[in-house]
Amino acid sequence: MAPRKVPEVYARLGIKPVINAQSWITALGGSIMRPEVREAMSEAATCFVDMVELNHKAGEVVARACGTQAGMVTNGCSAAQTIAVAACMTGTDPAKVERLPHTEGLKNEVLMFKGERNRYDMAFEVPGAHIVEWGMLGGAQPWQLEAAITEKTACIATTFSPGIRRGLPVSELAAIAHKRGVPVIVDAAAEVPPMANLTRFVKEGADLVMFSGGKGIGGPQGAGLLAGRKDLIEAAFENNLNLNSPRAGIGRGMKVTKEELVGMVMALELYLESDEQALIAGWQRKAEYLKGRLQGMTGLRVAIEPFSSRRQGPQPVMYFEKEWKGPSPAEIRQRLLEKNPPIYVGGGSAGNDVNLVMVNVQDGEEVVIADRLVEILKGPAPTKRPK
Ligand SMILES: *Cc1c(COP(=O)(O)O)cnc(C)c1O
């Protein structure tokens, strides 16, 4: 494959594009938008509109996609988390909305199962709330959650992500929470695909659910989705772009641009129409190609691990066994970055493996990855050293 041309806008800044076999990660740019999405954004940039009205219309599309009463486009899943908690604390009361991030006297605690604490959960605290952990790492029990709910509880938050130690299922959280009038909010940022996850958590009883727009859905990297109960979405609007109040609101720094709003709607609609099985089959084909190229080296076992809640798409994983004499996983990762284009691969899971995530590998890049890996794994042809 001829190397892809470096886009002029990056070349001018001295930036080298990379090959992304690491998934929809923020550090490499999330995802690549389809041409229709890029065109929609470019068209959106050509005139002025009423932004609140635009997000309400976009929200109707989000709500349909998620099977909820209402929805909105947010500045990433992270902002959705922040605005969701703000909404749970303030409702649509303008006096409360105006006070944030000062929350004395408000319900300002977010309950989270201890094992679900994660690197993104500070977003729940941004509006002035505090995370209160419930349960023990030994396992989650319904009575632990019941005992943890107080008059200060604003909501119960739960996160779905690879590597999370799960507490209770959403249905059980909801059953307990709803008896006490407490909403359940779900961070499912990177859980789509599968597409069915767009509607799954609300069906299970969640009051609000949030997703990244710029991961598997393929929207603008900065966009996200928030969907759920109508009253809470109205409260979320009040906290995000509060044009009616003298005070701009806690979500002001999280505004979504008209271009992102329109791009997100287009990406979501295209995603809903897409053939998920065909998409997964494409990842599987690339995985099989790579497995074929990497097979047959002593001490290296390559397996295609299936798509699961722990793995984003079917992916070849290189397991290094006792007989392996070549470079270590850390050296392999390093050397993959040293040539042009740099190749980023997954972090592995068992410590002694390298996983190659196919979801963002563009057509033909699997060949570049295989060539480079074969070169690194087999090492330079042995030369005789002079004594
Ligand atoms: C990516 C991610 C986020 C943040 O989402 P953004 O859309 O980047 O703001 C939050 N939670 C989880 C579990 C994530 O994977």
Q: Residue 321 has what pLDDT?
A: 94
The pLDDT of residue 3 is above 90:
no
Q: Worst-scoring range by mean pLDDT, 9-13, 230-234, 241-245?
A: 241-245
Alpha carbon of 29 to ligand 1 centroid (Å):
13
Q: What domains can be seen in the chain, in order of their start residue?
A: 8-29+276-378 (3.90.1150.180), 35-273 (3.40.640.10)
> H or E stretch including 57?
helix 51-66
223 burial via Cβ count (<10 Å: 0-12, 13-18, 19+) = buried
Q: What is the mean pLDDT of residues 158-168?
A: 92
Note the pLDDT tens digit of each residue in 80-117.
999 999 999 999 999 999 999 999 999 999 999 999 99
Q: How confident is the model at residue 379 (pLDDT cuts 50, 70, 90)?
A: confident
**CA dist., res. 183 & res. 315, Å (int):** 37
Percent above pLDDT 70 for the chain: 97
**Which amino acid makes up residue 136?**
M
**Token pair for 58:** 């976009």
Note the pLDDT tens digit of each residue in 332-376. 999 999 999 999 999 877 678 999 999 999 999 999 999 999 999
Give the Cα separation of 232 and 63 in Å (integer): 13
Burial bucket for residue 53 (CB in 10 Å: 0-12, 13-18, 19+): exposed
Average pLDDT of the chain to the nearest whole number: 95
Q: Can you tell me the mean pLDDT for 165-169?
A: 93
Ligand 1 pocket check for 117: Cβ under 6 Å: no
Q: What is the pLDDT of residues 296-339, one digit of tens each?
A: 999 999 999 999 988 999 999 999 999 999 999 999 999 999 99
**Which pLDDT does position 247 carry in this prediction?**
85
Q: What is the mean pLDDT of residues 265-290?
A: 98
**Cα distance between residue 343 and residue 365, in whole Å:** 10
Q: What is the DSSP string of 318-370?
A: EEE-TT--S--HHHHHHHHHHSSSPEEE---SSSSEEE---TTPPTTHHHHHH
28 CA to centre of ligand 1 in angstroms: 14
**Average of per-residue pLDDT across 267-271:** 98
| Mean pLDDT on 127-133 | 98
- Give CA–CA dist 108/351, Å, rounded: 39
The 10s digit of each residue's pLDDT in 137-157 is: 888 999 999 999 999 999 999
Q: What is the band of 383 on the pLDDT scale with cuts at 50, 70, 90?
A: low
User: How far lies 17's CA from each of 4, 72, 111, 340, 375, in Å?
Assistant: 9, 32, 41, 9, 21
Confirm or reject: Cβ of 161 under 6 Å from ligand 1: yes
Mutation choice for ligand 1 from 78, 116, 118, 125, CB with most ligand atoms inside 8 A:
78
Q: Is 225 in the pocket of ligand 1 (CB under 6 A)?
A: no
- Ligand 1 centroid–CA 24 distance in Å is 10
Alpha helix ranges (H) inside 149-275: 170-179, 197-203, 230-240, 258-273
Q: For residue 243, what pLDDT is reported?
A: 75
What atom of ligand 1 comes closest to residue 159's alpha carbon? 13
Q: DSSP alpha helices (H): ranges in 76-141?
A: 76-90, 94-99
Work out the angle at residue 217's Cα, subtended by the Cα atoms of residues 214 and 222, and round it to the nearest 5 degrees: 15
DSSP SS3 for 139: strand
Q: What is the structure's pLDDT at 360?
A: 97
Ligand 1 atom with minimal separation from the 190 CA? 15
Residue 186 in tokens: 């779900």
What's the CA gap between 209 and 83, in Å, rounded? Answer: 12
Indicate if ligand 1 lies below 6 Å from the C-beta of 69.
Answer: no
Q: Is the pLDDT of residue 381 over 80?
A: no
Residue 382 predicted with pLDDT over 60: no
Q: How far apart are CA 269 and CA 65, in angstroms?
A: 8
Contact 187, 208 (CB under 8 A): no
**Which tens digit of pLDDT belongs to each residue from 58-81?**
999 999 999 999 999 999 999 999
189 CB less than 6 Å from ligand 1?
yes
At residue 148, the 3 state secondary structure works out as helix
> Which residues have CB under 8 Å from 68's CB, separation 6+?
62, 202, 209, 227, 228, 229
Q: Say if ligand 1 is within 6 A of residue 75 CB.
A: no
The answer to whether 352 touches 330, Cβ cutoff 8 Å, is no
Distance 210 CA to ligand 1 centre (A): 9
Whether the CB of 307 sits within 6 Å of ligand 1? no
What three-state secondary structure class fits 219?
coil
The CB of 159 under 6 Å from ligand 1? The reply is yes
Q: What is the dihedral of CA 318, 321, 324, 327, to 10 degrees?
A: 50
pLDDT at residue 384, as a whole number: 57
Rounded CA-CA distance 47/45 in Å is 6
What atom of ligand 1 comes closest to residue 80's alpha carbon? 9
Ligand 1 pocket test, pick from 187, 208, 221 with the greatest ligand atom count within 8 Å of Cβ, gives: 187
Task: Judge if the beta carbon of residue 26 lies within 6 A of ligand 1.
Answer: yes
What is the Å distance from ligand 1's center to 123 Cα?
10
Q: Which atom of ligand 1 is nearest to the CA of 164?
A: 13
120 lines ligand 1 (CB under 6 A): yes
Tokens at residue 170, please?
Answer: 């959403």
What pLDDT score does 223 carry? Answer: 98
Residue 244: CB atoms within 10 A of its CB come to 10
